[in-house]
Structure 1
Amino acid sequence: MVQPLSVQLYTVRDALAADRDGVLRRIAELGYGAVEPYDPMTDPKGFRQVADDLGLTVSSTHAYALLSREPAEVFEAIATVGTDLVIIPGGIAEEEFTTRDGLARVADRLNGLAVHAAAHGMRLGYHNHWWEIEPRIDGRHALEVLADLLEPEVFLEVDTYWAAVGGADVPALLRGLADRVLALHVKDGPGVRGEPHTAVGDGVMPVPAILAAAPGAWRIVELDTCAGDVFEALAGSRSYLSSLGVS
């Protein structure tokens, strides 16, 4: 099955808080076929109903709640939202990614959560920022070392923009991580921390090479910040990615 292009809903967090149903409708009207929630705990039943009505697939979901709440409660909400890919998007001290011992602790935590996920028929993943890329251990990015410590069922959602900001050759990183990568955050901008993001295709990222390096991964558009209208940026991203053959 061809995976539809997805949007990380953190991109539209302010508008979403004001009018969830209207925002989801607008995303569907822009031609996106999937969404990635960042908070599956808020009205999962209502969210699923609207997504179904609009024909939107839930590609995956972020789940900070797994770090603070009873796992069974969180996985029940995620099942209702309608995905089996569950991602830890942060919430672990940055310092843990600077040493091998720290990475071992991170891996133990993620591997433990993955056991809970498997009991609910789901897979657990981890989403990077720049601080999992900048530290190098024995000449390798911390994220690469972490991948070696994770159980095979734990996947990665590689944020390609933050990987570049952290100093990675992103296509090479993706090729090295290979089948471990099930999802990509596809984003663009000036490649400078603290500067707003742009529509995909309007910045410095080598998007075609990135996509080619992880051909089977979900493509999920995200803008953490945006200097202009975020929906225009989403429309531009959709148009550009369509020109590259992304559905």
Structure 2
Amino acid sequence: MTSTNPPALQLYTLRDQLAGDRPGVLGRVAALGYGAVEVFDVLSDTRGLRDDLARAGLTVCSVHATLSADQLPEVVEAARTLGTDTVIVPYVPPERFSDADGIGELARELNEAARRLAGDGMRLGYHNHAFELSTIVGGRPALEVLADGLDDDVLLEVDTYWAAVGGQDVPALLGRLGERVRYLHVKDGPLTEGEPNVAVGTGRMPVAEIVAASPSATWHIVEFDQCATDLLTAVGDSLAWLADQGLAQPVARGAGT
């Protein structure tokens, strides 16, 4: 199932390369056929990043940002500058998922942050790692317990690889989480924590089945946490495989764009 949105890349994938030549790397990402990116470092040189993305012809589908009360106005302004209305919390400490009370408190905090963002015309999401799925609370994965406590307008960005590493049947998980899932991190690998990711379609993830299981996910975002081969090659091979399977539509760019 091809999303109507262009294929996207989480820029954390290329964090080391971007530090050396951001304009050049973003240009290569665009040339591979990606149309959008997800930004992980939203407060550093926001305007410079905006300008480099514009020159490359890339839009921003969302940003990852920790929402401390004192930084919230800066995050909102940065997201606006980058042209997105979606802020996703990328991580909270695992101990917050240790029991139902802790999860309930986290849900209340996320709901309050979402209300504050809504006042600025923005929406909030939450991104998982493995521990939210491997931790079982009341007989259910902790992420599902959290989802039950979230207001309807708080979305989920499911990192499908981490969910699998956390022991979940990912298509079944996505079916249970339902329409709250609006973003998918699409990645592949050996399903062993600490081992590098591989190009999408060359590892153990049932990627096509996963994408089909979440029709509500309008953004499919390729990501590598680490990679043992040339990253830009793997990033390009991932999109080529997704396109081959009818799961992505690369952005065609003419010479000089």
Task: Name the TM-score, length of structure 2 as normaliser.
Answer: 0.92
Q: Does the 8 Å contact 2:199/2:237 carry over to 1?
A: yes
Aligned pair count? Answer: 245
Give the one of 30, 43, 48 matched to 1:28: 30
Q: Does the 8 Å contact 2:40/2:65 carry over to 1?
A: yes
Moved more, 209-218 or 165-174: 209-218
Secondary structure of 1:133's counterpart equals helix
User: What is the Cα deviation at residue 53 of structure 1?
Assistant: 2.5
Q: Which residue of 2 aligns with 1:16?
A: 18
Q: Which residue of 2 aligns with 1:242?
A: 243
Q: Which residue of 1 aligns with 2:40?
A: 38
Distance (Å, rounded) in 2 between the aligned partners of 1:156 and 1:232:
29
User: Quick check: 1:215 aligned with 2:234?
Assistant: no
Q: What are the Cα deviations for residues 52-108 of structure 1, in whole angstroms up to 9, with x where unaligned? A: 2222121111012x2364311210111101111110001x22011121001011111
Secondary structure of 1:67's counterpart equals coil
Q: Map 1:144-163 to 2 at 5 A.
A: 144-163=144-163
Equivalent position amino acid for 1:238 in 2: L
Equivalent position amino acid for 1:87 in 2: I
Equivalent position amino acid for 1:38 in 2: F
User: What is the Cα deviation at residue 138 of structure 1?
Assistant: 2.2
Q: Map 1:76-115 to 2 at 5 A.
A: 76-90=77-91, 92-115=92-115
Give the one of 52, 62, 65 matched to 2:64: 62
Q: Which residue of 1 aligns with 2:128?
A: 128
Distance (Å, rounded) in 2 between the aligned partners of 1:95 and 1:73:
27
Q: What are the Cα deviations for residues 192-234 of structure 1, in whole angstroms up to 9, with x where unaligned? A: 0010000000100000000001124110000000001001110
Over the aligned positions, Cα root-mean-square deviation in angstroms equals 1.2
Equivalent position amino acid for 1:219 in 2: H
Q: What are the Cα deviations for residues 135-166 of structure 1, in whole angstroms up to 9, with x where unaligned? A: 11222110001000011111100000000000
Q: 1:109 to 1:197 in 2, by over 3 A?
A: same
- Extract unaligned runs of 5+ from structure 1: none
Greater relative contact order (CA < 8 Å, ≥ 6 in sequence): 2
Distance (Å, rounded) in 1 between the aligned partners of 2:89 and 2:145:
17
Secondary structure of 2:12's counterpart equals helix
Distance (Å, rounded) in 2 between the aligned partners of 1:8 and 1:148:
27
Q: Does the 8 Å contact 1:41/1:78 carry over to 2?
A: no
Distance (Å, rounded) in 2 between the aligned partners of 1:241 and 1:151:
33
